[in-house]
C-alpha cells in the first residue's frame, strides 16, 4: 500500500524573546511531516538550524528528493543511509517510528524495552538579559530543580551570580553557546565553582576545542555543537566529560539511541536536549530522557501556544503527552 507524505513549514510565535549568544529568537520555525498509510498517520517535527547550514527550504528539499522512496515504503534503516544527520532525517525518522508503532500496535517505549513514560525533571532555561532581569527570572522558577543559564562573553559571572542568589538550591547548567575563549574559560573557573555549577555546556567554538585537551577544570564540560553522531564520540575523549544529544543533530531517534548507548559505554554523562520547538519535536526525545543525567526539554514552554495534548509542566516536572499523541 502506497503512503501519503505531507510536508509543511510551520511557525510558532514565542511567548517572550529568547536570547542566546548567537542572537534572539521570536518564533520557532519548524518543518512537520505526516506519513499516512491506510488509516494510520505517523508524525514528526524538526527545527532547521542555521548554525548547521540548514533552512526550512533546504530541509524540505532533502525530504522531497526521497518522496518516491518514502511513499513506496522506505524504512528507517534505509533512511539512515540515504540522508545525513540533521533536521530532515529527524522529522522523517520520527514519523516512521510513530507510524510503525501504530501499524504494529506496540508503543515506541516498549519496542525500545524502556519503562513507560513518566514525569521527568527538566531544566528551565533563562535567556541572556541583564543580571537583574535574569535574577528576577530565576526567582520565578526557584525550587523547580534544574536551571539552565544562557550567557555570552559579556560579564557572564555577574549573570550567573544573579541567578544563584535568586535560586540558591537548584542545580545549574551554564551554556555560553560557543562564545568563550580558552582564556575566559580559565578566568571563569572560580565564578563557576562559587556558584556550584553542575555542568558547563559548549563554552568554546566546536572548531576551536582542541584547547580543551590541555585544560583541566573543576566543572564537567558538555559537548553540544561539537557532537552530533556516534562517530563523533572518539574525538570527544579528552575534551569533554558529557554530551548533549539532540534529535535535530543526530537526525532522529534511531541514531540518538545508538549514540546514547555508545556514550554511556564510553563513560560520558548524557544530557538530552532540544531546540525551541513544539511538543511534537521533543516527543521522541522522551524515550531517551530517562537514561540522562540532565534533561533539557523545555523548548515547548517558550511557545505562546503548544499542542493541547502535548507535554505539560508542573513546577520543574515535565509531564508526558497524552496517550496517542506520538509513539503509541
**Do strands 294-296 and 269-273 pair parallel, antiparallel, or not at all (unpaired)?**
parallel
246 is catalytic: yes
Q: What is the pLDDT of residue 1?
A: 76
Rounded to whole angstroms, the Cα distance separating 306 from 314 reads: 15
For 208, the enclosing helix (H) or strand (E) is none
Q: What is the pLDDT of residue 62?
A: 98
122-188-224 Cα angle (round to 5): 40
Q: One of 148, 150, 249, 269 is an active-site residue; which one?
A: 150
**Do strands 40-46 and 23-37 pair parallel, antiparallel, or not at all (unpaired)?**
antiparallel
- Are 250 and 85 in contact, with CB atoms under 8 Å apart? yes
150 is catalytic: yes
Query: DSSP string of 96-146?
Result: HHHHHHHHHS--HHHHTT-PPP--EE--EEE-S--HHHHHHHHHHHTTSSE
What is the mean pLDDT for each group of 10 consecutive residues in the chain (328 residues)?
95 96 95 97 97 96 98 97 98 98 96 89 98 98 98 98 98 98 98 98 98 95 98 98 98 98 98 98 96 97 98 96 95
Rounded to whole angstroms, the Cα distance separating 49 from 247 reads: 12
Give, rounded to a whole angstrom, the gap between the first and last alpha carbons of the chain. 22
Residue matched to cell numbers 540518538 = 256
Rounded to whole angstroms, the Cα distance separating 192 from 201 reads: 12
Sign of CA dihedral 60, 65, 68, 70: negative
Closest by Cα among 271, 206, 262, 264 to 239: 206
Q: One of 40, 148, 246, 249 is an active-site residue; which one?
A: 246
3-state secondary structure 78-110: HHHHHCCCCHHHHHHHHHHHHHHHHHHCCCHHH
CATH of 4-105, one of 3.30.390.10, 3.30.110.30, 1.10.300.10, 3.50.50.60: 3.30.390.10
Q: What is the pLDDT of residue 255?
A: 98
Q: What is the pLDDT of residue 116?
A: 85
Domain boundaries, the chain: 4-105, 120-319
Fold of 120-319: TIM Barrel (3.20.20)
Compute CA distances 83 → 79, 86, 91, 93, 305, whole Å.
6, 8, 12, 10, 31
90: Cβ–Cβ under 8 A, 6 or more apart, which residues?
Answer: 44, 46, 247, 248, 250, 251, 252
For the chain, state the CA radius of gyration: 19
| Helices 87-104 and 56-65, axial angle in degrees (round to 10) | 50
Rounded to whole angstroms, the Cα distance separating 200 from 33 reads: 34
φ, ψ for residue 233, nearest 5 deg = -60, -45
Residue 2 burial (C-beta neighbours within 10 Å; 0-12, 13-18, 19+): exposed
Q: What is the pLDDT of residue 114?
A: 85
Q: Is there a shared CATH topology between the 4-105 domain and the 120-319 domain? A: no
Residue 148 C-alpha from the chain's centroid? 13
Amino acid at each position: 500500500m502506497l503512503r501519503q507524505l505531507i510536508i509543511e513549514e510551520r511557525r510558532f510565535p514565542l511567548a517572550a524573546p529568547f536570547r542566546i549568544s548567537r542572537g534572539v529568537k521570536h518564533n520557532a520555525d519548524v518543518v512537520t511531516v505526516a506519513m499516512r498509510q491506510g488509516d494510520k498517520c505517523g508524525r514528526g517535527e524538526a527545527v532547521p538550524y542555521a548554525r548547521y547550514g540548514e533552512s526550512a527550504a533546504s530541509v524540505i528539499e532533502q525530504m522531497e528528493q526521497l518522496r518516491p522512496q518514502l511513499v513506496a515504503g522506505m524504512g528507517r534503516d534505509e533512511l539512515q543511509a540515504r540522508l545525513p544527520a540533521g533536521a530532515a532525517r529527524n522529522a522523517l525518522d520520527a514519523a516512521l517510528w510513530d507510524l510503525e508503532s501504530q501499524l504494529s500496535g506496540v508503543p515506541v517505549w516498549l519496542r525500545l524495552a524502556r519503562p513507560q513514560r513518566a514525569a521527568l525533571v527538566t531544566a528551565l532555561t533563562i535567556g541572556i538579559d541583564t543580571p537583574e532581569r535574569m535574577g528576577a527570572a530565576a526567582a520565578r522558577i526557584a525550587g523547580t530543580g534544574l536551571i539552565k543559564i544562557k550567557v555570552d562573553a559579556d560579564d557572564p559571572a555577574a549573570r550567573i551570580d544573579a541567578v544563584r542568589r535568586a535560586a540558591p538550591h537548584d542545580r545549574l547548567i551554564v551554556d555560553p553557546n560557543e562564545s568563550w575563549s580558552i582564556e575566559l574559560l580559565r578566568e571563569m573557573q572560580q565564578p563557576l565553582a562559587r556558584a556550584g555549577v553542575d555542568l558547563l555546556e559548549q563554552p568554546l567554538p566546536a572548531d576551536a576545542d582542541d584547547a580543551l585537551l590541555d585544560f583541566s577544570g573543576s566543572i564537567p564540560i558538555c559537548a553540544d555543537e561539537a557532537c552530533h553522531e556516534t562517530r563523533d564520540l572518539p574525538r570527544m575523549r579528552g575534551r569533554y566529560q558529557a554530551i548533549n544529544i539532540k534529535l535535530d543533530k543526530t537526525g532522529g531517534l534511531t541514531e540518538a539511541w545508538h549514540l546514547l548507548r555508545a556514550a554511556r559505554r564510553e563513560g560520558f554523562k548524557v544530557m538530552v536536549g532540544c531546540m525551541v520547538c513544539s511538543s511534537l519535536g521533543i516527543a521522541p526525545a522522551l524515550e531517551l530522557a530517562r537514561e540522562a543525567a540532565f534533561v533539557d526539554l523545555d523548548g515547548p514552554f517558550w511557545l505562546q501556544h503548544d499542542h493541547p495534548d502535548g507535554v505539560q509542566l508542573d513546577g520543574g516536572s515535565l509531564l508526558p503527552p497524552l496517550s496517542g499523541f506520538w509513539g503509541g
